[in-house]
């Protein structure tokens, strides 16, 4: 249960609990994603002793849809992350994909909780036309409706080809989590009213990154539209403890649904 002013809502949280956790990993999904995007990674991390915490942020997946654009703002998302503090461990790690990485950065830059390490998966560090195009696509998709669930699934598979060659066995759960039924129609599982808050703007997030006292790993696919060599060079030279890995052949964002990509995360967290 989360409270946003005078409004209450529910936030679904997926938990993977080892017997004796060495720490907690909080995984924050992309703008139109949900916590189910991390199912494969979470099953991988729990084998290394990490309790893995994967919320559906409000307005996404199976969490509350408020149908009110004013409810979806940075402060609301920070309240959601603060509500996860009950799952904090001896050590705490954060992983954010795209928009989720931005939310995690904002939280860690201003919160009392200390992150031991932070993974930013395909996060845009400064404004660019590519980031603006992605915002426009999200805005367009928010209005799409499908008469049959098979049509919705086919659309998701076609438009998420950038995930690369993920195991076929992972697609059914991914598709189920990405589509919801409303009034007899099928649509992508995020509240269309989250979109007005996604504004096109000029920004520079490197000063925000510098405020976070944690070791940071930047992950990008080789063909990511959001990879900015100049911004990454500034970030990695701005302070010690910031590194970057570009994954050959991958696009954006990294799916983290393959053993090779999951090992990049677990190797960083355990090093």
User: pLDDT at position 240, please?
Assistant: 92
Place of tokens 């403890």: 241
Confidence (pLDDT) at 112: 62
> What is the dihedral angle through the alpha carbons of 134, 137, 139, 141, rounded to the nearest 10 degrees?
-140
Q: How many CA atoms lie within 13 A of 146 on its CB side?
A: 18
Whether 2 shows a pLDDT value over 80: the answer reads yes
For the chain, which residues make up each domain, given as ranges? 2-129+201-270
What percent of the chain is predicted at pLDDT more than 90? Answer: 82
The class level of CATH for 2-129+201-270 reads alpha beta
Per-residue pLDDT at 162:
84
Q: What value does the CA radius of gyration of the chain take, rounded to a whole number of Å?
A: 18
pLDDT digits (tens, 9 = 90+) for 108-137: 998 767 899 999 999 999 877 777 778 788
The reported pTM is 0.95
Q: How far is 191 from 179, CA to CA, in rounded Å?
A: 11
User: Where residue 199 falls among pLDDT bands split at 50, 70, 90?
Assistant: low
Tokens linked to 239: 């302070």
**Residue 197 pLDDT:** 58
Which pair of structure tokens corresponds to residue 52? 């893995």
- Share in percent of the chain as helix, strand, coil (round to 5): 40, 20, 35
pLDDT digits (tens, 9 = 90+) for 16-30: 999 999 999 999 999
């Amino acid at each position: 249960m989360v409270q946003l002013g005078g409004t209450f809502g529910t936030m679904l949280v997926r938990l993977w609990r080892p017997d004796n956790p060495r720490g907690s990993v909080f995984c924050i999904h992309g703008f139109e994603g949900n916590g189910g995007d991390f199912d494969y990674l979470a099953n991988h991390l729990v084998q290394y002793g990490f309790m893995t915490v994967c919320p559906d942020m409000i307005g996404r997946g199976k969490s509350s849809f408020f149908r009110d654009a004013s409810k979806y703002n940075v402060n609301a998302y920070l309240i959601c992350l603060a509500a996860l503090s009950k799952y904090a461990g001896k050590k705490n790690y954060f992983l954010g994909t795209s928009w989720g990485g931005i939310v995690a950065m904002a939280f860690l830059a201003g919160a009392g909780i200390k992150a031991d390490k932070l993974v930013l998966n395909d996060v845009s560090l400064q404004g660019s036309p590519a980031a603006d195009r992605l915002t426009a696509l999200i805005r367009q998709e928010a209005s799409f409706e499908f008469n049959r669930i098979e049509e919705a699934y086919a659309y998701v598979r076609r438009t998420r080809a950038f995930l690369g060659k993920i195991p076929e066995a992972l697609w059914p759960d991914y598709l189920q989590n990405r589509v919801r039924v409303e009034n007899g129609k099928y649509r992508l599982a995020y509240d269309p009213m989250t979109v007005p808050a996604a504004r096109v703007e000029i920004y520079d997030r490197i000063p925000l990154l510098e405020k976070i006292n944690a070791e940071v790993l930047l992950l990008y696919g080789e063909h990511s539209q959001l990879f900015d060599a100049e911004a990454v060079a500034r970030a990695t030279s701005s302070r010690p403890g910031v590194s970057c890995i570009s994954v050959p052949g991958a696009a954006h964002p990294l799916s983290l649904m393959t053993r090779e990509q999951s090992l990049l995360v677990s190797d960083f967290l355990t090093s």
